Amino acid sequence: IRMKEDISAIRKKLKKKLPPDRYEHSLSVSYTAIALAMRYGCDLEQAELAGLLHDCARQHDNQTIYEKCLDKGIEVTKDEEANKILLHAKYGSYMAAHKYGIKDQEILTAIEYHTTGRPKMSLLEKIIYIADYIEPRRNKAANLAHMRQLAFIDLDRALYEIMAGILQYLEETNAAIDKQTQEACIYYRDCYKDSKKAAF
């Protein structure tokens, strides 16, 4: 899908399927992703579509998504079973392909990893992960103003700091931690271990 008419049709379909606040969040992530794509030279339509569809599975509750993953043969890790909200990314990627006609594998992968991240993320994956965190309607993270600025200065540094902050929050609240997020955070921390810019 590379045409504006298709993006418009997807917006209309999403608006019918998602709760209003989730739809507004999806639009906001989409526009933030476009802005980051402009800054870093990523394909604008890929960024727009991935941002728009990153939460398309959130029309379902977490238990329903879990059951649908099992039904469709989508792998569920022990970490995901313990923290079912993570599965909306995997099932969202499946829905983007099967319900919204997305054939672009880069878009599908960006949707799949927008909750956990992973080592060696593509530019589009990084943009969607970060856009989901910094979009203008977000207001809960204490360091949002800093992250919003940093995202447009140093994408990898922003990625690392966001992951580190999320892991710290999960540890402090005794929440389930996905191993993939830990691995991704270590990977991007190590990218900076020899840099004076890195904060440890």
Distance CA(170)–CA(123), nearest Å, equals 26
pTM of the model: 0.92
Element (H, E) at 183: helix 179-190
Q: How many residues does the chain have?
A: 200
pLDDT tens string, the chain, 200 residues long: the values are 455 668 999 999 999 999 999 999 999 999 999 999 999 999 999 999 999 999 999 999 999 999 999 999 999 998 888 889 999 999 999 999 999 999 999 999 999 999 999 999 999 999 999 999 999 998 887 789 999 999 999 999 999 999 999 888 888 888 778 888 899 999 988 886 655 454 44
